[in-house]
Amino acid sequence: MPAKRPPVPLSRERIIDAALHLADAQGLRRLTMRRLGDALEVEAMAIYHHMPGGKEALLDALAQHVTTVSVEAGERAAWQDIAALWCRAARAALLAHPGVLALAMTKPPRGSAAAAIREQTEQLREAGLAAPAEAVRAMRAYVFGSVAVELQHTGWADPTAPEPGPDPDGEAAFERGLSALLTGLGAADTTGAA
- The reply on whether position 32 binds DNA by CB under 7 A is yes
Q: What is the DSSP letter of 100?
A: G
Q: Could you say which of 102, 128, 165, 171 contacts its own copies (CB under 8 A)? A: 102
Q: Which of 28, 46, 93, 173 binds DNA (CB under 7 A)?
A: 46
CB of 55 to DNA, least distance (A): 3
- Which listed residue (21, 138, 164, 171) binds its own copies by CB under 8 A? 138
DSSP tally for the chain: helices H, then strands E: 9, 0
Residue closest to 39 by CA, chosen among 51, 26, 53, 57: 26
Those residues with Cβ within 8 angstroms of residue 134's Cβ, 6 or more apart along the chain or in another chain: 188
| Site pattern 47..66 for DNA (x: CB under 7 A) | -xxx---xxx----------
Residues near DNA, by CB under 7 A: 7, 9-10, 30-35, 37, 42-46, 48-50, 54-56
